[in-house]
Amino acid sequence: MKKILLAAIMMVAAMNASAQFEPGTFTLKPQIGFGISTLSNMEDISVPIVGHYYELDKTVKPGFQVGLEFEYQAKKWLGIAVGLNYISQGMGWENFKSNLDGIKYNSYNNQLDLGYINLPIVANFYVAKGLALKTGLQFGFLTDAHLRTNVRASHKEGDVKIDNLTQISENLYDECNKFDLAIPVGLSYEFKHHFVIDARYNIGLLKVNKDEMGNEDKHRNGSFQMSFGWKFGLNKKNQAPRKQAAM
């Protein structure tokens, strides 16, 4: 039992040991992650089911991200990072269930899907070894915009259960602005062997919806993202020279 406890303590200590590349080095970090997002000033929606209208409250939308990040370690306390990634964001509305005249209705996956290719340029301020506070600018380019919902109607005829699934997808790409600008703020921690956890919140600055939509509300993106990546050195400046063996 003591041996198992000692091994667990050693593993935790190894994971908690931080690392950081030396000034003058370039690194590449493939990363993948997840997030939640929403849109400001977005209203609730009404779902019509058999002549009845039901209000659905707003919720956050889960999403994912995948991409790469290059960083130049300018100083021990400062790194400049440029990323290229794809992020799925938007917002959602709550699921809904109802029973009308013996028919069960289930509305789910009610969400606005927005896909962006993002180019974040971020300054990493290393306040401790491996620990960085970050902020900068993020340029986004819209790739996809769809309003989606699924409505399932189920009932029984004798011993037979009948399900009817209606999947609705409305393309809103032409009604949205193609360019987005955000301020990312967050922090990251670089573990031993250069495994990195990065958490940031992206504050949207521009309207998602076009002015000609007749909607005066300013719907701006807001998303929390957490990513996991691995840094690879692109030069050898951080490596100490090998000692020659004595003759």
CATH number of the domain that residue 210 is part of: 2.40.160.20
Q: Using alpha carbons, select from 149, 180, 184 the residue that is nearest to residue 167.
A: 149
Distance CA 22, CA 77 (A): 10
50 within some domain: yes
Q: Looking at the 3D structure of the chain, how many domains does it have?
A: 1
Residue 124 lies in a domain: yes
User: C-alpha angle 191/195/201, rounded to 5°?
Assistant: 95
205 belongs to a structural domain? yes
For CA atoms 124, 126, 130, 131, the dihedral sign is negative
How many Cβ atoms sit within 10 Å of the Cβ of residue 91? 24
- Spatial CA neighbour of 110 closest among 95, 97, 89: 95
Does 163 map to a domain?
A: no
What pLDDT tens digit does each residue of the chain (247 aa) get? 445 444 443 444 444 455 677 888 999 999 999 999 999 987 777 766 666 777 788 899 999 999 999 999 999 999 999 999 999 999 999 888 887 777 888 888 889 999 999 999 999 999 998 999 999 999 999 999 999 888 888 877 777 777 788 888 999 999 999 999 999 999 999 998 899 999 999 999 999 988 654 456 789 999 999 999 999 988 765 444 444 444 4
Q: Which of 27, 130, 19, 140 is nearest to 81 (CA)?
A: 27
In a domain, 138, yes or no: yes
Residue 191 lies in a domain: yes
Q: Answer whether residue 180 is part of any domain.
A: yes
2 phi, psi to nearest 5 deg = -65, -40
Write phi, then psi, for 183 (nearest 5 degrees): -110, 110
Residue 72 lies in a domain: yes
Residue 117 structural domain: 18-90+113-145+176-233
